[in-house]
Structure 1
Amino acid sequence: MTPTYNKVHNRFKFNGLHFSHEELKEVAYSLIKEGKPYEKVTGDFLIDWLNNKDFLVVTTSGSTGYPKQIKLKKQAMVNSAIATGNFFGLEPGDKALHCLPSHFIAGKMMFVRALVLGLEIDFVEPAAQPVFDFEKTYDFCAMIPLQLKHTIKYIDNIKNIIVGGSKVTKPLIEKIKDCKPRFYETYGMTETVTHVAVRSLESKNGKKEPYFTALQNIKFEQDDRGCLLIHAPKLVKETLVTNDIVELKSDQSFKLLGRFDNVINSGGVKLFPEQIEDKIQPVIEERFILVGEEDATLGEKLILIVEQPKDSVEDILKVIKELKNLEKFEVPKKIYTIDKFPETNNRKIQRKKAAKLVLEAK
């Protein structure tokens, strides 16, 4: 029988203690009244989850536009939790570490998974460097790349770590190769109730997988732009149309190539900034992006924007040109610098806004 959103699993524990439906309401009120700011947000979420409504109003991250509020069915969130539990083999009594903010869907879903699957969840402050019991063994954890970067020395007792929210950079991918946990990069969005697909990354106990694999009851196809269409009837009724260009391996597997709205058409050659950024990452320490600038000859030319670089523009261009895996047309035609990238609420770079700021200031 499929669990429902108005039930609390009898194996659920929150920071070591089990709470019934009514007891959890009291905990939520206490968090709102006496908790730290991040605990107040969690209390608000729990109150909303435990009320009689069959939906939640959640805010999107704004990574592909302005943040907006949407309604998610609570049962869809339960279905997502079950799909995650099945994929990772989570059982009642398994231990989960929760270090994400409860503002966004990823943080909310950590609690939903615990409530539905009967997990024992330890909730800690969602800082850039979360502090948790480094000696304790955890079965499951979700982190953003920044958190993983700062806790890389303390995670060997975590069995499975999913990483999402922003791009997992190549330097970070190299670091986790020597770690014990199994790492998974996730693909999803607020509208799909967090991830609908995952791909494993290389570690001591994990193999690298270039393709994202669908969770149960999820199917994929492409539209005429080459962008991903998501069929997830247990999560959302309508087919979701994305702007993510993919290489489709099957209806349950794909490789992510880049964003349709980021593609640069330079002299008839389509350039995917995200793929070129992957190649350049090893030689630039600072944050950077590749975008297009209008050009009389090429239509658009590839330009690089770097945040507060320690090296000169000339030196940066020199090391880029020395990269063996970079095609001639993938070398930026110009390099600009910026003091601080404009960001979304969850620290994703706003590409279009950054490009506008730089190009209007030149």
Structure 2
Amino acid sequence: MVRTGTVRWRTYVGPMYSAPCVCDGTVYVAGRGLWALEAADGSVRWTNADVGWLSSPTVSGDTVHIADRGRFYALDAADGRVRWRKRMTWDSHTPPAVADGLVHHVDAGRYLRTFDAVTGRRRWRVRYRRKGMNDAGPVLADGTLYAVDDRGTVRAFDPATGSVRWQQSTFARWPVTPLVQDGTLYLGGGVSSDVYALDAATGAHRWTAWPDYAYSSFRTTPAFHGNTLYIAGTDYRLYALNATTGDTRWRVITDGPIHSSPVVADGTVYFGSEEGHVWAVRADNGRVRWRVETGGKVESPVVADGVVHVCSRDGYLYAIEATPTPERQ
């Protein structure tokens, strides 16, 4: 029998299509507008009804950055006041990457754009993809900016100038945001059934895996812990792969397709299914620790201070105790 996890609180914010962002005791989430909630109890600190819909926010210092319906915003994290906005041509489904006074952003257009974080002035833009659906956001790691296009080409950029350091093709199609960890870039195959590992410094292929010959789409960002790579698929399975070789270590079958990117904390992997469940499984063997039912498709979770924060299409943001039950430890 699968045990039920403990919901600390839930707050209705309207339909959600992205992950929350947790920073300094506050949960920022896009629902019907942009919301800032107290992480301790879910009470509302502020809302901005004019901002927020599809994309996750990114918080850097005292500023919230978010793309929304053809505009890009920088807001005061304390009260939601708009500091600057930029009109964009296309919507975005991904959070921006922010560091060193720069905001890096992609949308459904052709360009990777970089703004000044304080003023919103454009620093540079690079055409790197075709127009169309794009769920692959930019990633910053070790002084390099990474982006992948809809045809599976990965590029490494200089964040300050936009110059291309390297590019490498894969057979991924319409992938989502990659993971960069310990000098390796890991990428799910998107609508294909492969998983890729590239050298983050050079782009050289390290391995390509087809986990257990899965007939699945891997439209999730992997998670990493203890030389194990965790990636979820539409075949109802979460896979644990050897991060060095790509070999499958174990897999766990859930109740529905998974478009929720997993996250690992304290020896537990957390993710959600399209059937409305939040899952917690042991990172070493995939044994289910608990499950929580929501009323809609579950988006990617965020773990902070022993709490799993996760959005559901039922319109509620859930805060769930991350601690596993003693019987399942």
The normalised TM-score by structure 1 is 0.30
**More strand per residue:** 2
- State the structure with more CA Rg: 1
The normalised TM-score by structure 2 is 0.32
